[in-house]
Structure 1
Amino acid sequence: MVDILAQTIPYTEITIANIVFALVILIAGLLVAGILSGMFSKGLKKTKLPELVTEFLVRFLRALLYVGVLLAVVSTLGIDTSSVVVGLSAVIGLVLGFGMQDSLNNMAAGVWIASLRPLDKGEYVTVDGLSGTVHAVGIMATELLTPDNQFITLPNKLVWGSPIVNATRMPTRRVSVDVGVGYTTDIPKAVQIALDVIKQDSRVLADPVAAVVTAELADSSVNLQLRAWVNTPDFWAVKNDLTIAIHAAFGKEEIEIPFPQLDVHMYKN
């Protein structure tokens, strides 16, 4: 057994024993890194830091621990770690010349995002035309999850450098439902019916007061807009229910919701 462990890999000075020890250190190192990351995470949660900041710091520590494990494994194989560090420095220098600036920008942006929190874990945001629930902010990228379960990864510098529309940060939101009625319609009557529809929904807040306004005199219709304030978690449900309810109410009162119309006049020479 000793003889087997003492055998070297052809063309190298690495022995079987070195490989075995390296594997043991790799497995043990990964386990220790996981345990330390878990302990660090639990400790940060006791400080009542925002979950987004906690996750960012835990990921950063985990990355550093993995680098330490990698260096320990390389050292066990009999390779001079100083040469590895020099090699890594050369690679890093090369990468810096070909775009490391972007990586550093992403890291810096990640720190700002985690610190100032224009978005937070679990919030629904739109960034650079992409929408989703914030899943995490990592060292280099921000992760979003769309309503249909698509996973989006955005570079942190793009997130920090773009307008962020946060749909769930505020406790209340205004629901707007647009509906068109014919030009022959009794507009005050239509407005009153729409107001009654809004008042029948118990989720609509009393303050600010709900309203129905004439939004536009369009080509084929007079466009009304129902405006109701609700608690943010109720936004989509109320919008859907009000849309259905106003259609039913106008149908019951025989108020026309016209189709787009186009008059074509033909002349004979």
Structure 2
Amino acid sequence: MADILALTIPYTAITVADIVFALVVLVAGLLLAGILTGMFRNSLKKTKLPELVVEFLVRFLRALLYVAVLLAVVSALKVDVSSVVVGLSAVIGLVLGFGMQDSLNNMAAGVWIASLRPLDKDEFVTVNGLSGKVHAVGIMATELLTPDNQFITVPNKIVWGSPIVNATRMPTRRVGVDVGVAYATDIPRAVQVAMDVIKQDSRVLADPAPAVVTTELADSSVNLQLRAWVNTGDFWAVKNDLTIAIHAAYGKEDIEIPFPQLDVHMSRL
């Protein structure tokens, strides 16, 4: 066994024993990095820092620990770490000249996002045309989960440099349900029926007061909009229920919701 461990790798001074030791250092280093990261996360959770900031700092520390483990493994292989650092610095300098700017921009943007928090963990946002619930903000990218469970990674510089529509930041939202009625309809009656539908929903807030407004004289219909303020968590449920309820109510009251139609007048030449 000792003879095997004393064998050297061809064209190098590295022995089998060095490789075994390096593997032990690698495994131990990864385990230690995981333990330290977990302790760091637990300590941060005891503070008042937002969860998004905690996740960002934990990921940043994990990346630094992995670099330290890599250097420890290289050192275990009896390679001069200082020369490796110099070599990495040269490579990094070269990469910086050929496109590392995007990476640095992403890192800087990640710091700003985590600090100023235009979005936060579990909030539903739309960024650059992409919508989803915020899963995390990493060093390089922001992670979103769509309602159908697709995982989207958006570079931080795009998030920071784009308008962010945050659908869940505010405690209340206004539901808008559009419906069209025929031109022959008694509009005040249609409005009153719609108001009754809104008031029957206990989730609708009294302040601001709900309303039904005429939004457009369209080609085939007079368009109305039911407007009701609700708690943000009730938004989609109330929107769905009001849509179903207004359709049923107009059907019961014989208020026509017309199909798109076109009148064609023919004349004999």
- Which TM-score band (shorter chain)? over 0.9
What residue number does 2:240 align with?
240
- Structure 1 Cα separation of the partners of residues 65 and 168 of structure 2: 35
- Structure 1 Cα separation of the partners of residues 144 and 30 of structure 2: 27
What residue number does 1:219 align with?
219
What residue number does 2:70 align with?
70
Q: Over aligned residues, Cα RMSD in angstroms?
A: 0.8
- Structure 1 Cα separation of the partners of residues 80 and 166 of structure 2: 50
2:187 is the alignment partner of 1:192: no
Q: Note the C-alpha offset of 1:265.
A: 2.9
TM-score, with length taken from structure 2: 0.99
Q: Note the C-alpha offset of 1:20.
A: 0.3
- Structure 1 Cα separation of the partners of residues 23 and 263 of structure 2: 80
Q: Note the C-alpha offset of 1:47.
A: 1.1
Q: Note the C-alpha offset of 1:268.
A: 4.2
Q: Note the C-alpha offset of 1:10.
A: 1.3
Q: Note the C-alpha offset of 1:266.
A: 3.4
- Structure 2 Cα separation of the partners of residues 50 and 174 of structure 1: 27
Q: Note the C-alpha offset of 1:264.
A: 2.2
The aligned amino acid for 1:92 is I
What residue number does 1:61 align with?
61
- Structure 1 Cα separation of the partners of residues 265 and 214 of structure 2: 30
Q: Note the C-alpha offset of 1:231.
A: 0.3
What residue number does 1:103 align with?
103
For each residue in 1:2-31, what CA deviation from the matched residue of structure 2 results, as whole angstroms up to 9, or x when unmatched? 111110011211100000000000000000
- Residues 106-255 of structure 1 correspond to what in structure 2 (within 5 A)? 106-255=106-255
The aligned amino acid for 2:97 is G
What residue number does 1:2 align with?
2
For each residue in 1:140-172, what CA deviation from the matched residue of structure 2 results, as whole angstroms up to 9, or x when unmatched? 000000000000000000000000000000000
| Identity, % of aligned positions | 86
The aligned amino acid for 2:169 is R
2:257 is the alignment partner of 1:257: yes
What residue number does 2:47 align with?
47
For each residue in 1:36-55, what CA deviation from the matched residue of structure 2 results, as whole angstroms up to 9, or x when unmatched? 00001111111120000001
- Structure 2 Cα separation of the partners of residues 63 and 47 of structure 1: 22
2:28 is the alignment partner of 1:28: yes
The aligned amino acid for 2:5 is L
For each residue in 1:188-217, what CA deviation from the matched residue of structure 2 results, as whole angstroms up to 9, or x when unmatched? 000000000000000000110000000100
What residue number does 1:37 align with?
37
Query: Gaps spanning 5+ residues in structure 2: where?
Result: none
Shift >4 Å, 4+ stretches: none
Which range is displaced more, 189-198 or 99-108? 99-108
The aligned amino acid for 2:262 is L
Q: Secondary structure at the match of 1:233?
A: helix
Query: Gaps spanning 5+ residues in structure 1: where?
Result: none
The aligned amino acid for 1:231 is N
Q: Secondary structure at the match of 1:91?
A: helix
The aligned amino acid for 2:66 is Y
- Structure 1 Cα separation of the partners of residues 99 and 238 of structure 2: 48
For each residue in 1:211-236, what CA deviation from the matched residue of structure 2 results, as whole angstroms up to 9, or x when unmatched? 00001000100000000000000000
Q: Secondary structure at the match of 1:191?
A: helix
Q: Secondary structure at the match of 1:204?
A: coil
2:18 is the alignment partner of 1:18: yes
- Structure 1 Cα separation of the partners of residues 119 and 30 of structure 2: 31
